[in-house]
Amino acid sequence: MPASSPPPPRPPLASTMLAQLRPACTALIALTAITGVLYPVGMTLVARALFPRQANGSLLRDPHGEVRGSLLIGQPFTGPRWFHSRPSATGETPYDPTASGGSNLGPTNPALATLVADRAAAVSKDNATHTGTIPIDLVTASGSGLDPHISPAAALLQVPRVAAARGLAEQTLQGLLDRHVEPAVFGILGCPRVNVLQLNLALESLSGVNAPGPSRASAPPPP
């Protein structure tokens, strides 16, 4: 054996680890202060100064300042007088922002097929004059359960029903709808879509708040 100096004895692992305890705790406390306190607090202050509307949830207010909802969070709509949102799978209550989530039904789960068939039947029943196909978004639940949008086709399908229920001309509603279609970003990213809450709020102001229904129409639309 060559006469080389023996390697220095390795310290026991326990003491190696113990030696790291103080730096670990200090680093953790310092990082908690920086990334856990300074970072979110600083971001909130800057965000509030630069983008107050967005930072607080893009809330939609009526002229009296009452909050009607958030531009980004969908709401459920029933009855013939409103454009309907997509189905929602947020637990017992649809569109519940405290329980966001999807149905998680598998693609081959018979329950999904049944549900979609039932929803399609309901859409056909609600929109009796509609004879074409039903857009898929109107019969499936979104991932968040809070999807504020439907496709333009899904909104168009509902125009005759809403027009009849509110006693408005279909052209008026179509014009309103056209103004509410958001195109894909740069024409490429995402899908063209209609914000249902925004559309319904516009509808509400069009027909006057708390319009009782068709009887209110003073000038019946031309046939």
Partner 1 sequence: MTTSAAAEVAVILAAVALAAVAISPWLTTVFRMGTDTDGTGLPGTAGWFERWLTAIERPLLRAAGVWPVREMTATEYGAAIVVFHAAGFGLLLFFLRFQPLLPWNPDHLPAVPWLIAINTAASFVTNTNWQSYGGETTLSPLSQSLGLTVQNFASAACGLCVLAVLARGLVRRDSPTIGNFWQDLVRAIVGFLLPLAILLGLVLTSQGVVQSFETAIDVPLVDQDAVVEGAPPATRRIVTGPVASQVAIKQLGTNGGGYFNANSAHPFENPTPLTNLLEIVAMLMIPVASCLAFGRWVGDRRQGHALLAAMALLFLPFLLLIVRFETSPNPRLTAAAPTVDQSALGEHGGGALEGKEVRFGPVASAVFAVSTTATSCGAVNAMHDSFSPLGGLVAMWMMQLGEVVFGGVGTGLAGLIAYTLVAVFVAGLMVGRSPEYLGKKIESREMKMGMIVLLVPPIATLVGTATACVMPAEAAAAPNPGPHGFSELLYAFTSASNNNGSAFGGITATSAFWTLALAAAMLGSRLLTMLPLLAIGGSLAAKRTVAQSPGTLPTHTPLFVLLVAGTVILVGALSFVPALALGPIAEALQPPAVVLTGDGG
Task: Please list every residue from 45 through 104 that binds partner 1, using CB under 8 A.
Answer: 46-48, 50-51, 54-59, 67-79, 82, 86, 92-104
Nearer to partner 1, 45 or 170 (CB): 45
Nearer to partner 1, 102 or 167 (CB): 102
Tokens 């229904």 appear where?
213
At closest approach, how far in Å is the CB of 163 from partner 1?
17
Among 1, 2, 4, 22, binds partner 1 (CB under 8 A): 22
Spatial distance between the Cα atoms of 127 and 150, rounded to a whole number of angstroms: 16
Tokens 């125009």 appear where?
159
205 is a site residue for partner 1 (CB under 8 A): no
Encoding tokens for residue 205? Answer: 């102001």
Nearer to partner 1, 61 or 171 (CB): 61
Nearer to partner 1, 24 or 128 (CB): 24
At closest approach, how far in Å is the CB of 42 from partner 1?
8
Contact criterion met (CB below 8 Å) for 196 and 77: yes
Dihedral of alpha carbons 182, 183, 188, 191, sign: positive
Residue 201 three-state SS: helix
